[in-house]
Amino acid sequence: MALSLAGARVRAAALTLPLVAFIGVTFLAPLGLMLARSVHEPLVADSLPDTLAVLENWDGVSLPGEDVFQALARELLTLHKQRSLGGVATRVNRLESGMRSAIVRTARQLRNADPGSWREAMIAAAPIWNEPKAWRALQRSGERYTLRHFLHALDLERDSEGNVVAQPPDQRIYLSLLGRTLMVSVVITVICLILGYPVAYLIANSPPSRSNLLLLLVLVPFWTSLLVRTTSWIVLLQNQGVINDLLVAVGLTTEESRIPMIYNMTGTLVAMTQILLPFMVLPLYAVMRTIAPSQMRAAAALGASFGQAFVRVYWPQTLPGIAAGSLLVFILSIGYYITPALVGGRTGQLISNLIAYHMQQSLNWGLAAALGAILLVCVALLFFLFNRLVGVERMRFT
Amino acid sequence: MRRQSRINLQGHARNLIAALALICVVGTQASADESVTVVSWGGSYAEACKKAVLDPFAEETGIEVRLESYNGGLAQIRAQVETGNVHWDVVDLEFADLARGCDEGLFELIDIDELPPAHDGTPARDDYFEGTFSECGGGGIFYSTVYAYNNESFAGQRPSTIEDFFDLEKFPGRRGMRRTAGANLEFALLADGVPPDEIYAVLDTPGGVNRAFGKLDTIKEHIVWWEAGAQPPQMLADQEVVMSTAYNGRIFNAQVLEQQPFTIVWDGQVLDYGQFAIVAGTPNLEAARSYLLFASRVENMAAIGHYIAYSPTRRSGIDLITTHRETGVEMRPHMPSAPENMGRVVRNDWEWWADHGEEINERFSAWLSR
């Protein structure tokens, strides 16, 4: 008996294997590999092993000896022949701007030479080899495991002595952007709740024919392509757009003082709220549908005003829906990317836009991974807090 | 008898179907072997490339050419090369990206001595202007980032210098600029009084970059940012902005093809150049190579200059340019290299940008979001 039960359990577990494998291959593995990039950067270490080995004996202040110059020159020449110098040069350049051209130029100029002194030949090719900072950059980019990207993602860096210090104010961006992203997500969640609650109430308490129509009105935009909805907002909100034209026509504003409603924070807030609203309305509706209207009538019969009945009878029962909707909207908006990119302009950009920038433009995937990891930790922390305060098991999504 | 003919008909039909099937198979095979995807910058420039180079190439060789567009950068190319899934064969690149990508092995090497010589026999190596060819590149044009305005935006006095672009009192209104640090820092320093040939020396000092950003700060609230080269003519036409930085050829095409009342201010132009390159590991290497060699012929490089105001990077090509093919407009005065346009010129230092671009653009992002 126990045996057959165990067998059934094994069979049941086996049925979930395809899903587990699917999640592992398409979700966990790529995610893990991406996150690993934030601390693991082996390219320079793998490309310049001899140089880094002899550089270990360097005191970090004076000019390294001829053996270091020779080892580096040899390895640069090999890399140049293999056409893989560019990647190494780019990575060292991230620690010290100017190293890219120094490395490439050195490899080019040493190509046909077998000089007596590698040191002189290299300094002649690129004077930066005369400065300890070049060698420090080389040494630090040769670390196989590094917290550099996480420091960078928190607007910190290491100074020449290796202490962690704040970035110069002009370079600081990520913390303030992270703060802005969290702020925007909270604001959008609150607006969605304020707008969505009465709508969900109306749908849940209308006769079926009308409630189906209302539900359709919520679902049709939900089914419409995100890009179509975002670009529709551009048509409506832009300077020469429908709303501004209307305001000018009725005389509320003048031709010269059209209101900038898009390509700024307002645009991001408006478009994202509209796009995320169904994620609030649907869980709320699911919960409200189960609350019998007779309860409110009973409360009224017992002498409660509508306000009292709402606050003490109705509202508490909708809390699981509020929690579910808010969590959905908040987590979706914290990682939102395409809408801010299209309508956010200069001031409406969120942290995910910077992650995309480092993925696609600067190609600094380590930094992008570190930013992503920090975002993930933020979401996990908030979820943990939320679970402590509200309790996930109390939430209702449908 | 009747029956006989029906059988015959069926036989014919079968043969016909077999023949058709064979044609289809052969046809798809031929096009699969003989096609090349060229990726360029979209809009009127891509249109010009198509008329000047892509179509004649397809006609001469029978190789099918597909045209796609992008907004620059190496990210997509690197992704294709690293995953081994290359579907872009030839890409039109800014020189800084070309040089960086070539060092990283993202592009196939091209021996400069393989490129077709000039008509008088001068080898390509000597025919190209100093420093305008890379060991991975072919073809090539000079283009320029300038600023332009819509005549209808200015009733009285019109802007004429780079200082005017930064002068909100004399010329109020919004300005368009490309959403990147490149060229914008140069414009800012020029307007702040730095001579063109000292721009990069100033930018190399710690205070130099601050100075450029400081100058940009003075107009920051009035800037509309663009990303694709096709946007500025549109923004000027809609009068969304009163003036905008732009690629000179785009403005020229809007002037002659759409009769837009635009004026280019050549003062302070940032002159740059680019080339075609073959993405490493492309399955269509042979077709891509023959395209690159075709695009490197002097007359074909010059042909682009018959459709848009960009001039070839080979000396012998300059004199081949005459008039705009569609409207008959004399091209020479519209080229960045025309002597009357070469007053104050910054020659884009791609090497400086390859070294500092990443750091500066990160700072640019921080500056933008503030």
Angle between helices A265-289 and A315-334 (to 10 degrees): 140
Average pLDDT over residues A365-393: 88
Q: Which of B76, B103, B369 sits opposite A346 (nearest CB)?
A: B369
Q: Measure CA B329 to chain center.
A: 21
Nearest CA in chain B to A345: B225
B212 and B346 part of one domain: yes
Q: Give the pLDDT score at A397.
A: 62
Determine whether the interchain pair A101/B363 forms a contact, defined as Cβ–Cβ distance below 8 Å.
no
The CA-atom distances, in angstroms, between B180 and each of A58, A153, B361 are 39, 21, 7
Report whether B265 contacts B336 (CB < 8 A): no
Determine whether the interchain pair A363/B78 forms a contact, defined as Cβ–Cβ distance below 8 Å.
yes
Q: Give the pLDDT score at B33.
A: 58
> Rounded to 10 degrees, what is the CA torsion of A181, A183, A184, A185?
80
Which 8-state DSSP code applies to residue B36? Answer: E
The amino acid that residue B181 corresponds to is A
Beta pairing, strands B35-40 & B64-69: parallel
- CB–CB contacts below 8 A, A to B: 81
Which 8-state DSSP code applies to residue B343? Answer: S
Residue A349 has pLDDT above 80, yes or no: yes
Q: Give the pLDDT score at A6.
A: 85
B41 and B161 part of one domain: no
pLDDT, one tens digit per residue, over A168-197 is: 888 889 999 999 999 999 999 999 999 999
Tokens of A70: 């020779």
pLDDT, one tens digit per residue, over A195-250 is: 999 999 999 999 999 999 999 999 998 899 888 898 899 889 988 889 999 999 99
Report whether B80 contacts B87 (CB < 8 A): yes
Where do we find the tokens 């001899």?
A: A50
- Please work out, in degrees rounded to the nearest 5, the angle formed at the alpha carbon of residue B124 by the alpha carbons of B122 and B126: 65
Residue B18 covered by a domain: no
Residue B165 covered by a domain: yes
Other Cβ atoms closer than 10 A to A185:
24
Of the candidate CATH numbers 1.10.3720.10, 3.40.50.300, 2.40.33.20, 3.30.70.580, the domain formed by A174-394 belongs to: 1.10.3720.10
CA end-to-end span of chain B: 91
Q: Give the pLDDT score at A108.
A: 85
Angle between helices A118-125 and A66-82 (to 10 degrees): 60
Residue B223 covered by a domain: yes
B361 and B226 part of one domain: yes
Q: Give the pLDDT score at B346.
A: 95
Residue B323 covered by a domain: no
Q: What ipTM, to 2 d.p.? A: 0.79
Closest CA relative to residue B353, chosen from B272, B280, B294: B272
Q: Which of A154-158, B86-90, B209-213 has the lowest mean pLDDT?
A: A154-158
Q: Which of B103, B355, B369 sits opposite A177 (nearest CB)?
A: B369
Report how far residue A224's alpha carbon sits from residue A219's, in angstroms, rounded to the nearest whole number. Answer: 9
B342 and B197 part of one domain: yes
The segment with the largest mean pLDDT, out of A110-119, A339-348, B13-22, is A339-348
pLDDT, one tens digit per residue, over A51-76 is: 999 999 898 888 898 899 999 999 99
Determine whether the interchain pair A364/B358 forms a contact, defined as Cβ–Cβ distance below 8 Å.
yes
Residue B227 has pLDDT above 90, yes or no: no
Report whether A93 contacts A72 (CB < 8 A): no
Residue B304 covered by a domain: yes
Q: Give the pLDDT score at A383.
A: 86
B186 and B54 part of one domain: no
B235 and B346 part of one domain: yes
Determine whether the interchain pair B103/A176 forms a contact, defined as Cβ–Cβ distance below 8 Å.
no
CA end-to-end span of chain A: 37
Determine whether the interchain pair A354/B365 forms a contact, defined as Cβ–Cβ distance below 8 Å.
yes
Determine whether the interchain pair B366/A173 forms a contact, defined as Cβ–Cβ distance below 8 Å.
yes
Report how far residue B53's alpha carbon sits from residue B304's, in angstroms, rounded to the nearest whole number. Answer: 7
Determine whether the interchain pair A86/B368 forms a contact, defined as Cβ–Cβ distance below 8 Å.
no
- pLDDT band of A396, cuts 50, 70, 90: low
Of the residues B94, B134, B365, B370, the best mutation for testing chain A's interface (the one with the most A CB atoms within 10 Å of its CB) is: B365
B68 and B127 part of one domain: yes
Closest CA relative to residue A157, chosen from A201, A202, A95: A95
Closest CA relative to residue B90, chosen from B266, B290, B233: B290
Contacts of A351 in chain B (CB under 8 A): none
Residue B70's φ and ψ, nearest 5 degrees, are -150, 175
- Please work out, in degrees rounded to the nearest 5, the angle formed at the alpha carbon of residue B322 by the alpha carbons of B318 and B328: 150
Q: Parse chain A into domains and list their residue ranges.
A: 43-143, 174-394
Q: Helix (H, G, I), strand (E, B), or coil: what is residue A32?
A: helix
CA distance A249 to chain B (A): 19
Nearest CA in chain A to B210: A170
Report how far residue A283's alpha carbon sits from residue A204's, in angstroms, rounded to the nearest whole number. Answer: 11
The amino acid that residue A99 corresponds to is M
Report how far residue A351's alpha carbon sits from residue A390's, in angstroms, rounded to the nearest whole number. Answer: 27
Nearest CA in chain A to B367: A170
B171 and B287 part of one domain: no
Nearest CA in chain B to A82: B105
Closest CA relative to residue A332, chosen from A173, A165, A184: A184
Determine whether the interchain pair A86/B73 forms a contact, defined as Cβ–Cβ distance below 8 Å.
no
Report whether A263 contacts A343 (CB < 8 A): yes
Determine whether the interchain pair B369/A173 forms a contact, defined as Cβ–Cβ distance below 8 Å.
yes
Taking any CB pair shorter than 8 Å as contact, residues of chain A touching chain B are 82-87, 89-90, 93-94, 97-101, 104, 170-173, 176-177, 180, 239-240, 263, 345-347, 349, 354, 357, 359-364
CA distance B131 to chain A (A): 14
pTM (whole model) above 0.80: yes
Residue A186: exposure state from Cβ atoms within 10 A (0-12, 13-18, ≥19): middle
B130 and B165 part of one domain: no
Report how far residue B301's alpha carbon sits from residue B311's, in angstroms, rounded to the nearest whole number. Answer: 8
B91 and B234 part of one domain: no
B363 and B249 part of one domain: yes
B92 and B189 part of one domain: no
pLDDT, one tens digit per residue, over B67-79 is: 999 988 888 898 8
The domain of B94 spans 34-142+274-318
Report how far residue A256's alpha carbon sits from residue B50's, in angstroms, rounded to the nearest whole number. Answer: 42
> A280 pairs with which residues across the strands?
none
**What is the number of structural domains in chain B?**
2
Find the DSSP H helices in B192-284: 199-204, 206-217, 231-237, 248-257
CA distance A222 to chain B (A): 29
Tokens of A267: 């645009």
Of the residues A43, A47, A76, A97, the best mutation for testing chain B's interface (the one with the most B CB atoms within 10 Å of its CB) is: A97
Determine whether the interchain pair A346/B213 forms a contact, defined as Cβ–Cβ distance below 8 Å.
no
Report whether B265 contacts B79 (CB < 8 A): no
Tokens of B325: 């093919």
Q: Which of B240, B355, B363 sits opposite A239 (nearest CB)?
A: B240
